[in-house]
Amino acid sequence: MFLAREGIRSVIVEKQTFPRYHIGESLTGECGRLLRELGLEARMLAMGFPQKRGVKVYGPDGIGSWFVPVKLRDEKGELYDQFTWQVRRSEFDKMLLDEAVARGAALVHGQATKILTNSEGAVSGLVVRLADGDELTVEAEVVLDCSGQATFLAQREMTGPKYLGSYDKQIAIFSQVAHSIRDDGDTADLCRDNTLIFYRSKFHWSWFIPLDKDVVSVGVVAPAAYYLDKKESKQDFLIRELHALNPELKRRLPDIELAEDVHVIPNYSFQVKGFCGKGFMCIGDSHRFVDPIFSFGLYVAMKEAQLAAPVIKGYLQGDGRDLANPFAAHQLTCEKGIDILEDMIDLFWEQPFAFALLVHRKYTEYMVDTFAGRIYDGYASPAIAVFRNMLKRERTYDDVSLYSVPIGSRYNPERAPLWQADSLVEGTEEWIYSG
C-alpha cells in the first residue's frame, strides 16, 4: 500500500493461504497512526477490533503496577490521548492483503524458492513455486524481503551474516483463553481492552491481550532452560504457568479454557547484518527481531515499509544506482530505530525498578513517546540517552562494518553467524510456526 501511494507497481508473493493464524496481536500508538494514514481507520472500526488505550505492567507480587497510556503528538508537538488496536492476526492480515490487492498489487500465491541476480550481482527477481508445483519467474527492479522469521534472503546468504540476538535463549508458548476477568472503568488505565504484562523474574513474563469481547491472547515467555527443566508438554506448561507466574494473572484467569492450539516459538531473537543492497531490502522480522515484550514487531515492519517506499521511488528514478549499497542510508535509519528499542528492552530487564521510575517520574512523557514508537524521523527523546547511560552503552554509527553487530545484554562476539550453524536448514520456519 505504501508503494502504491508512490505510484510503484508491486507483486506480493505469499506462500500461505489467508486467513491464517499468526502471533503479534497488540499494536503500538504509532502503528495505529500508520493505519489511519493508510486510510484504514474505518475498516478497523467496522471490523470491531478491541481498542487499546495503554499497557499495564504488573510486578511479581501482582499488586504493584505501572501504566503507559497510548498518546500521540499533534503538529505542535503536544501529546493527546488516542487509542490503537489489538488484532486477531488472521482477520487483520487478510484485510491488509485484500486491501493491498484492491489498491493495485498483484498477488502470487506460492513460495519464493530462489533469488535471481543480474550480471552485476544485483537481485533482479525470484523463482516462485506455485501450489500445483509449477515454477514462476518474477522479475523485479527491487525485491523486498518481508518473509518474517523465515529470513528468506539471509538464509540464502544474499545479506550479511545472521547473528543470534540478545534474547535467543528464550522460548514463547502461547494460545488464547475464552473467559477472563478484565478491567472495566472509564479511565485509560482501566480500559477493558488494554495489554497487560505480568513480570515474574528476569526474562520470565506473561502477556494478556484482548482479541474480542470474550477471547484473550495469553502467552508465557521464559528462558528455554526453565521450560526444559519442567519436562512438561507445551500445553501443560502453559496452563500451569498461567496460574503460577503471577497472582494477579491467576485472579484474571479463574478457569482456563483454551480457545486456540498452543503454539511455540523458540530462539526468536536475531539480527541480520547488511540487510539492504543492490536490488534488495529486508523489512520487518526478515532482518531483526529483539524481544516481543512491548509489542513493537508489527509497528517496526509497517514503519520500515513506510520509510522504504519513497526511497525505492528515488531508486527507480535513478538515485544511488552506482553505489555499492543504494539503500545504505535507509538501512542505517532502520538500524538506529531498532537499536533504541533494544536499549529500552535491555534496560527494562537489567534494571526493572529504575525503568519503572522513568515511567512514573521525570521521563513520563518521553517514555510515552518511546512506547508509542516515536523513535524514527529524527525524533530524539532524552529518554534514549538515559537508557544508554544506565546501561553504560555507547552506540556509534561511523563504521558500517561494526554498527549492526548485536550488542545486547548477552552479546558474545565469539558466536558464529546463525547460517553457519548446522541446526538451521531451509524450512526452519515451518518448525518455528508449527511448534
Q: Can you tell me the distance from the alpha carbon of 196 to that of 210, in angstroms, rounded to the nearest whole number? A: 9
CB of 109 to ligand FAD, least distance (A): 9
| Grid cell of 289 as nine digits | 527481531
What phi and psi values does residue 22 have, to the nearest 5 degrees?
Answer: -155, 150
Question: What secondary structure does DSSP assign to 67-78, as a single string?
Answer: EEE-EEE-TTS-
CB of 195 to ligand FAD, least distance (A): 7
Residues 93-122 within binding reach of ligand FAD (CB under 6 A): 111-112
CB nearer to ligand FAD: pick between 160 and 297: 297
Which secondary structure element, helix H or strand E, spans residue 8, and what is its range? none
Length of the chain: 435
146: contact with ligand FAD by CB under 6 A: yes
CB of 381 to ligand FAD, least distance (A): 20
| Grid cell of 165 as nine digits | 540476538
DSSP state letter for 26: B
Contact stretch for ligand FAD (CB under 6 A) within 63-71, 294-302, 342-350, 403-411: 294-302
160: contact with ligand FAD by CB under 6 A: no
Question: Please, are residues 116 and 125 in contact by the beta-carbon 8 Å criterion?
Answer: yes
DSSP state letter for 258: B
Q: Can you tell me the distance from the alpha carbon of 418 to that of 400, in angstroms, rounded to the nearest whole number? A: 20
CB of 44 to ligand FAD, least distance (A): 15
Which secondary structure element, helix H or strand E, spans residue 334, and what is its range? helix 328-350
CB nearer to ligand FAD: pick between 286 and 331: 286
272: contact with ligand FAD by CB under 6 A: no
CB of 357 to ligand FAD, least distance (A): 25
Among 24, 54, 62, 408, indicate the residue that binds ligand FAD (CB under 6 A): 24
CB of 255 to ligand FAD, least distance (A): 24
Residue for grid cell 530462539 = 267
Contact stretch for ligand FAD (CB under 6 A) within 249-257, 284-292, 326-334, 407-415: 284-292
Which secondary structure element, helix H or strand E, spans residue 130, and what is its range? strand 123-130
- Spell out, one character per residue from 219 to 248, where the chain touches ligand FAD: x when CB under 6 A holds, - when not: x-----------------------------
CB of 319 to ligand FAD, least distance (A): 25
- The alpha carbon of 316 is separated from its chain's Cα centroid by a whole number of angstroms, namely 28
How many chain residues bind ligand FAD (CB under 6 A)?
A: 31
Residue for grid cell 472500526 = 45
Residue 410 in 3-state DSSP? Answer: coil
**Can you give the binding site for ligand FAD, defined by CB under 6 A?**
13-16, 22-27, 111-112, 146-148, 150, 152, 172, 219, 265, 268, 284-286, 289, 292, 295, 297-299, 301
